[in-house]
């Protein structure tokens, strides 16, 4: 259940943020089980879209893709403006071999109001369009990704490979 603005306890928010920070550190160090426990505890204290998304990301590292998708859907329920879970669902669906289902999620990531990495969904759409041999669309997506993040190596590599393929 989402906390209403009237019922937000600042101490709970601080505790949830600290648990999230600890979970992220555990995740990055490879202690995925501890990360899962800490993300869940953070969500229990004060649910955030970030904690749900990162719990999903941790699940994906464990091969628990369907659970990862469910956590991202929870994140969207908490904050529909947060772009990360839309992109992550798209990536998970690509990984599951369901790229057509991924497209609307990636498009929602591009439209999200709160997102720091708009280059990712453009790149991921480019991957889908390359696989579908829709090269003009793929090129446009990859070029857009690089307009947003000129140093994004995966998009640069994909675009270079695409150019070699179509020239």
| Local confidence band at 31 (pLDDT 50, 70, 90 cut-offs) | very high
Mean pLDDT, rounded, of the chain: 95
| Local confidence band at 7 (pLDDT 50, 70, 90 cut-offs) | confident
Multiple choice CATH, 11-85, 3.40.50.150, 1.10.3720.10, 3.40.50.280, 1.25.40.10: 1.25.40.10
Which tokens go with 10? 């600042």
H-type helices in 62-149, by residue range?
65-78, 84-95, 99-111, 119-131, 135-148
pLDDT score recorded for residue 1: 43
Q: What is the DSSP string of 130-154?
A: HHTT-HHHHHHHHHHHHHH-TT-HH
**Residues contacting 123, CB < 8 A, separation 6+:** 141, 142, 145, 152, 154, 155, 158
What is the C-alpha to C-alpha distance for residues 130 and 113, in angstroms, rounded to an integer?
A: 27
Mean pLDDT computed over 124-139: 97
pLDDT score recorded for residue 167: 78
Residue 91 has pLDDT above 50, yes or no: yes
pLDDT score recorded for residue 51: 97
Residue 2 has pLDDT above 70, yes or no: no
**Residues contacting 111, CB < 8 A, separation 6+:** none
Mean pLDDT computed over 89-112: 97
Mean pLDDT computed over 72-87: 98
Q: Please name which of 53, 55, 60, 158 lies closest in space to residue 115, comparing C-alpha atoms.
A: 53
Mean pLDDT computed over 74-84: 97
Residue 100 has pLDDT above 90, yes or no: yes
């Amino acid at each position: 259940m989402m906390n209403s603005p009237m019922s937000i306890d600042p101490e709970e928010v601080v505790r949830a943020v600290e648990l999230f920070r600890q979970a992220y550190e555990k995740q990055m160090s490879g202690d995925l089980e501890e990360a899962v426990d800490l993300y869940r505890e953070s969500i229990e204290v004060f649910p955030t879209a970030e904690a749900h998304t990162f719990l999903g990301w941790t699940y994906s590292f464990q091969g628990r893709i369907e659970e990862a998708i469910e956590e991202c859907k929870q994140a969207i329920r908490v904050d529909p403006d947060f772009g990360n879970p839309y992109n992550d669902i798209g990536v998970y669906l690509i990984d599951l071999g369901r790229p057509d289902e991924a497209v609307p999620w990636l498009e929602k990531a591009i439209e999200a109001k709160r997102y720091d990495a708009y280059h990712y969904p453009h790149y991921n759409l480019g991957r889908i369009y390359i696989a579908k041999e829709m090269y003009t669309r793929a090129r446009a997506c990859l070029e857009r990704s690089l307009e947003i993040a000129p140093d994004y190596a995966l998009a640069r590599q994909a675009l270079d490979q695409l150019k070699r393929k179509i020239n």
